Amino acid sequence: MRTVVLMLTLSAAPALALAQTIPSPVPENEVFTREDIGHALAAPTPEAGHTAPSAANAPEDDGQWSMPSKNYASTRFSSLKEITPANVRTLKPDFSFSLAVNKGQEAAPIVVDNTMYVVTAYPNIVYALDLTKPGAPLKWIFAPKPAPASQGLACCDVVNRGGTVSNGKYIFNTLDGQTIAVDVKTGRALWRTQLGNINRGETITMAPTVAKGRVYVGDSGGEMGVRGWIVALDENTGKLLWRGYDTGPDAEVLIGPEFKPHYAGDQGKDLGVQSWPPQAWKIGGGASWGWITYDPELNALYQGVGNPGPWNNEQRPGDNKWTAGIFARDPATGAARWYYQYSPHDEHDYDGVNEQILLDMPFAGKMQKVLIHIDRNGYVYVMERSTGTVLSADPFGPVNSSKGVDLQTGRLIVNPAKQTKLGETVRNICPTASGAKDWNPSSFSPQTGLLYIPHENMCMDWMSSEVNYIAGTPYVGALVHMKPGPGGNRGELTAWDPVQRRPAWAVKENFPIWSGTVVTAGDIVFYGTMDGWFKAVNARTGDMLWRYKVDSGIISQPISYRGPDGHQYIAVLSGVGGWSGAVVSGPVDPRDGSAALGMVNVMSDLPKYTTAGGTLYVFSLPH
């Protein structure tokens, strides 16, 4: 394993009076190694075939970027190869565009029919830019004017993870709980559907998934005592087709005769009620604020489910189904087919909402249809996706909160030493609450067979406290102080080989990587850093090839597209914020380590490196 160290330091900079010192890293010997706790049902059999998405899930690249994940397989792989390791040094900004919102920008720009669409953080303004004209002038602006009060209900900055274009509509969500379809020609709303109720703590920050005439949306609010859900809307009318809750009675979770979970622990009647104290499931979280993936090949929907609430686990004894796991559902009816719980009775805020990447991969001597999920709890899960069987689970970041996954029962093996407790500070828990990796998606290259995982290397101290449920206010009950993981670099880009179950290379970063990655057929991986560098590294070696300093830190999803002139372009939004960047986009005070749910303790130096911003950047080679 090669490690490329790219630590940035401020030379002799006077310490800002405001900032706390960054706590010492957790010692290396306090986390488990991959060899200790990684498990698989069979040894690697790379000779059984080539890892790649199926043609149904990742059709031939048309050079556009119509959905945040690029394709239903969620590979974020661009087949464009004009930009190569040999020429990327000459990459230059082609144009930029101010988003006029200085909050965390997490969205992916969308490019369809030579028009680029960008949605901002709250107030969720949508811009359409004409790529056929010099400087990409505005075609229209759509301002949905979400309720200002929704800002006070967003746990982790007022972010938005993007929209998607389908059949002449740009479809996106607003912080105050609406899904809106805008006519791409006129910039006018075709329909808008109110789904969330901010008085109950429900907001929406995720990017909708659109497939076969249906729009799939989930809520945010796992820190506000919501009862999480997923809905399907009619793409043409916005009409609600079905809603499945993530806690509660089977009938409301849409669990019926089709439900055949692989593991015994997920089998039984009304587990969404029985695995909670009386009534607690009604305010138990399980929000679906991350990625929902549609699988054309198996006609299935995969829905990641967030953490249970409150964070104080002693107020909710039980497995807390169906939080911190994943559902496979029937896209037409929402009927659950299987479920797997990454973190039963989660005690560390390990949401199960990260991306699902759908691949055909050799395992146990034959090609299998797998779903790869890189969880907050620190493991890369490779699952057989027709049944929800875990084939392998290996740590990719610092882990000591668990000791691996028992592949017979499917259950995470909890480490009692790192279980959180009422009134007692448990120290050096790894990974931290935001996970070994948060929502920001990985990419996969069928050329290299590697996943490019943008992630964190952070741990935490945690003391649970009693918390009252008051609708519309936080329902957390924990005093958290985060700290760097072993080595002290807070972020890392890991190129992971899912077949061999090990990293091929890794790049260390000073700050946690909160942007997604995109990988191209030129064998280049692009990603951004929280201190404002947009970087290109060699997809095969991790060598840094190019970097460009933008106006603010990057926490968004970069893309690659073919412009009207036939050339390859790379686009990304700057604008630091999100949970990790709240100390800049806040205002949040660096003197309070517990601020922003404990994140400030490990990010209090970020204001020395970047300021708030919000700009679209588009790059190309000279031509």
Partner 1 sequence: MCSRFPINLAALSVLMLAACNRGPQPALPAEQPSRPILIDSALDPGVGYSLVTTDPRAAAYYNNAEAVNTGKRLFQQYNCSGCHSNGGGGMGPDLLDDVWIYGSRLEQIHQTLVEGRPNGMPSWGNKVPDQQLWQLAVYVRSMSLPQTLAAETDNTPSQSPAPVPPEADQGAGWSPPPATTNDYTTTTTGAD
Single out the residue of 179, 66, 74, 174 nearest to residue 440, CA to CA: 74
Site residues (CB under 8 A) for partner 1, limited to 13-52:
20
What is the DSSP secondary structure assignment for residue 308, as one 8-state letter?
B
49/472 with CB nearer partner 1: 472
Catalytic site residue 223? Answer: yes
151 makes contact with partner 1 (CB under 8 A) = yes
The residues, ordered by sequence, that sit 6+ positions from 525 with a Cβ below 8 Å of its Cβ are: 443, 452, 493, 495, 517, 518, 519, 536, 537, 538, 539
Q: Residue 424 has what DSSP assignment? A: B
Q: Any catalytic annotation for residue 270?
A: no
Encoded amino acid at 296, one letter: P
Please report which helix (H) or strand (E) contains residue 250, including its range: helix 250-253
Position among 481, 501, 508, 535 found at the interface with partner 1 (CB under 8 A): 481
Report the C-alpha gap between 397 and 383 in whole angstroms: 19
Per-residue mark of binding to partner 1, 275-314 (x: CB under 8 A): ---xxx-xx-------------------------------
Q: What Cα–Cα distance (Å) separates residue 559 from each residue in 414, 515, 571? A: 38, 11, 5
Distance CA 549, CA 358 (A): 33
Of the candidates 246, 349, 492, 551, the residue annotated as catalytic is 349
Q: Which of 27, 50, 470, 564 touches partner 1 by CB under 8 A?
A: 470
**Of 600, 603, 606, 618, the one binding partner 1 by CB under 8 A:** 600
Q: Which of 134, 257, 587, 622 binds partner 1 (CB under 8 A)?
A: 587
Neighbours of 139 (CB within 10 A): 18
Catalytic residue from among 102, 173, 307, 440: 307
Q: Compute the least distance from the CB of residue 154 to partner 1, in Å.
A: 6
**Residue showing tokens 């929209």:** 163
Binding to partner 1 by residue 317, rule CB under 8 A?
no
Q: At closest approach, how far in Å is the CB of 163 from partner 1?
A: 24
Distance separating alpha carbons of residues 403 and 306, to the nearest angstrom: 21
From 163, 410, 593, 613, residue interacting with partner 1 (rule: CB under 8 A): 593
Q: Which is nearer to partner 1, 111 or 596 (CB)?
A: 596
351 is catalytic: no
Site for partner 1 (CB under 8 A): which residue of 59, 137, 152, 365? 152
Q: Which member of 359, 467, 495, 606 binds partner 1 (CB under 8 A)?
A: 467
Q: Does 476 bind partner 1 (CB under 8 A)?
A: yes
Q: How far is the CB of 438 from partner 1 (least distance, A)?
A: 16
Phi, psi of 82 (to 5 degrees): -65, -40
* Least spacing, CB of residue 603 vs partner 1, in Å: 12
223 is an interface residue for partner 1 by CB under 8 A:
yes
Q: Which of 473, 488, 541, 611 binds partner 1 (CB under 8 A)?
A: 473
Residue span binding partner 1 (CB under 8 A) among the ranges 9-17, 29-37, 471-479, 528-536: 471-479
Residues in the chain, total = 623
Distance from first CA to last CA of the chain, Å, rounded? 37
Do 290 and 353 form a contact (C-beta atoms < 8 A)? yes
Residues 389, 63: Cα–Cα separation, whole Å: 35
CA distance 104 to 604: 17
Say which residue the tokens 């090839």 belong to. 545
Contacting partner 1 within 539-578 (CB under 8 A): none
- Which of 116, 195, 597, 603 is the binder for partner 1 (CB under 8 A)? 597
Beta bridge partners of 536: 526, 546
Give residues in contact with partner 1 (CB under 8 A). 20, 148-155, 223, 278-280, 282-283, 315, 465-476, 479, 481, 582, 586-597, 600-601
Catalytic residues: 223, 307, 349
